[in-house]
Amino acid sequence: MKRYIAMLLVIVFLCFLSVGMAMATDKPPKELKTISLEEATNKVVSIVNKYFVPKKDATLLGNSVEESGLYKVNLNINNNSQYFYLTKDGALLIFPNSFIDIAQFEETAKKQKEIQKEEIPKTHRPTVELFVMSLCPYGIKAEKEILPVIKSFDDRVDFKIKFIVNVKGSTINEVVSMHGNSESREDARQAAIMKYYPDKLQPYIKEIDANSCVISCGAVKLEDYWKKTAKESGMDVQKIESFAYDQEGINLLKENEIDSVKYGATASPTLVINGVKSRAIYRDEEAIKQAICSAFTNPPKICRENK
């Protein structure tokens, strides 16, 4: 029902935008070119695999259809069904809770790809930023892999996990994440755990991933299970919720959004070292370690140790 309401709001927005443009120019709107259903399907699969699924393994589920004046495409992403909608001119790709202008998005991605070709600059204390969606299976895997690597550097690295979100207001219900509001809330909770209990984040994520129904069952089980996990780990649930759902947590997620736009971090995960993207996050822990080591002016002893 929530997904239907979100889609309805997007459609209303698009209609309002078209009317507003016509009124502003005092001329009838130009007729938009319509692409075929087959072209739309191929475009959705291509865009999702190119920018949002690191292993490029999103596949089509069933037949695409026309619905409410849009093309509806169902994809299998890591054994989970996810619907995407495309406007009939192929311009806007619509997620459950948000949408992107494909042309603008690809232009930004192109610029970021040019930046990515630069070598990672060296600093005394490298800055390492991991951008994820907290309920994305690939994001969870990246978190579990990078946290022990970061721990091995002690405090020689300035490390932060940041979340790919769109903050539309001042409450947690107005924070948009690709997998819905349950993910927005988990983003905020993990941000709180990083602030107050950084040493407990790795076992928390491992436990949540292994024993909770993250996406396919919705938020109910996860909302219960994270509290159980936090309590058993010695964390204060009320303290986490107070930060995560209050203005301080929302402000932090807004800062995360600004940084993700800055780096063009749209795929979960995206690793940024000293301001430059690194593909090491798509390989293994040793590759991540070596990528971080390359960012030191004077690499520590651990960089000379083989795994």
Handedness of CA 151, 153, 155, 160 (dihedral sign): negative
Could you give the C-alpha distances from 65 to 9, 68, 91, 102, 147, in angstroms and in order? 20, 10, 17, 20, 42
Over the Cα atoms of the chain, what is R_g?
A: 21
Residue pLDDT tens, the chain, 307 long: 444 434 433 443 443 333 333 333 444 445 568 999 999 999 999 999 888 887 778 899 999 999 989 999 999 987 888 889 999 999 999 876 678 889 988 887 776 665 555 589 999 999 999 999 998 888 999 999 999 999 999 999 999 999 999 999 999 999 998 888 888 999 999 999 999 999 999 999 988 887 655 544 554 477 778 998 999 999 999 999 999 999 999 999 999 999 999 999 988 999 999 999 999 998 889 999 999 999 999 999 999 876 5
Could you give the C-alpha distances from 249 to 164, 187, 290, in angstroms and in order? 14, 10, 32
Contact (Cβ atoms closer than 8 angstroms) between residue 303 and residue 288: no
Tokens 């209609």, residue?
Answer: 15
Q: Shortest CA distance to 254 belongs to which of 180, 159, 166?
A: 166
Cis bond before residue 269 (omega within 30° of 0)? yes
Query: Token digits for 67?
Result: 């619905």
Q: Which domains does the chain have, with CATH numbers?
A: 2-109 (no CATH), 116-304 (3.40.30.10)
Contact (Cβ atoms closer than 8 angstroms) between residue 197 and residue 147: no
pLDDT score, position 222:
78
Identify each DSSP E strand in 28-142 by its residue range.
59-60, 65-67, 70-77, 80-87, 92-94, 99-101, 127-132
Q: Shortest CA distance to 189 belongs to which of 238, 255, 116, 151?
A: 238
